[in-house]
Amino acid sequence: MRLNRFYLENFSNQKNIILDQSSLFHQIKNVLKMKTGDFISLFFAPYEAVYKIEKIDNKKIFLTWQKDVVAKNIINKEIVLLQSLIKKDKMEWVVQKAVELGVSEIIPIISERSEKKDINLNRLNKISIEASEQCGRVDLIKISPVIKFSKVFQEVEGISFLGDGSGDFFVDKIKGLNIKKNKINIFIGPEGGWSIEELELAKKNKVEIVRLNNNILRSETATAAFLSLISNCLK
C-alpha cells in the first residue's frame, strides 16, 4: 500500500514528532481521516522517513519514527524553466508537470504577448509542494518572482534554448551534446508566440532558437514536451 507523503519544513529525521494545529494536522486528521496505527512518510530534502501515528487528539498528532527512506528522486541537475505567463489554470498545470519532470527552478516572465501580468506565488508554491508529495521528490522547486523578458538575461547562466517555430529541430541540437554538466534553461512563450524583437534579443544573448516539430503547439504542451526531452538527456 502506498504511503501518504507530506512535506514538513525543517524535518530532519527526528525520532518523535508532534503535529499541532497546522494545515498538515488538519489534512491528516480531518481530510484524510487517518487513525492511530496508520503510517505516513515525511520529507524535507535530503531526508525522508516513515512514521507511525501513535495518538491523535483534538489538538495534536503524535508520531514515532519507523525507518528512513532512501531518497531516489533528488534532482542533481539544474533545469530552469522560463515560462511566459499564461492563464491561471494552465500555469498551475505547468508547475505540476515541471515538478514531475525534474525542473529545479521556474522563472515566470512577462513577454509582449503574455496573457497575464502577475501570478499568485503562494498558490503556485502550494501546488508545487503537493506535486512533490505526489511524485516522490524530496526537494522543492524554486519559483522566482515575475520578471520582464527584457531583463531576464541578467538572471540566467548555462545553455539556453527558446522554443519557437522558426528554430532548428531541438532533437538535432541536443544529439551528442554533453549537457549533463551544464545548467539548462528553456524559454517557453505565450499562446501568441514571441515577437520578432524578442527573438532577436534572445539571439543577441546567445540563446538557441529551437522547435519540436512543424506543428503550432499550445504553450503548456510545448513546456511538457521540451522538459521531457531535456530530462531524458540528463539521465
Q: What pLDDT digit, counting tens, does each position of 43-101 carry?
A: 998 899 999 999 999 899 999 999 999 876 555 678 999 999 999 999 999 999 999 99
Q: Which domain holds residue 196?
A: 79-233
pLDDT-derived band at 213 (thresholds 50, 70, 90) equals confident
As for how many domains the chain has, the answer is: 2
- Burial label for 73, CB within 10 Å (0-12, 13-18, 19+), is middle
CB 183 within 8 A of CB 145: no
180 and 85 assigned to the same domain: yes
Q: What is the pTM of this model?
A: 0.89
The pLDDT value given to residue 23 = 87
Find the mean pLDDT for residues 29-51: 93
Q: At residue 175, does pLDDT exceed 80? A: no
Q: How far apart, in whole angstroms, are the C-alpha atoms of residue 50 and residue 176? A: 41
The pLDDT value given to residue 62 = 96
Report the CATH number at residue 34.
2.40.240.20
Domain stops at, among 17, 44, 68: 68
Report the CATH number at residue 84.
3.40.1280.10
Q: How far apart, in whole angstroms, are the C-alpha atoms of residue 13 and residue 69? A: 10
Q: Which residue has the cell 503547439?
A: 217
Nearest C-alpha neighbor of 185 from the set 94, 101, 104, 90 = 104
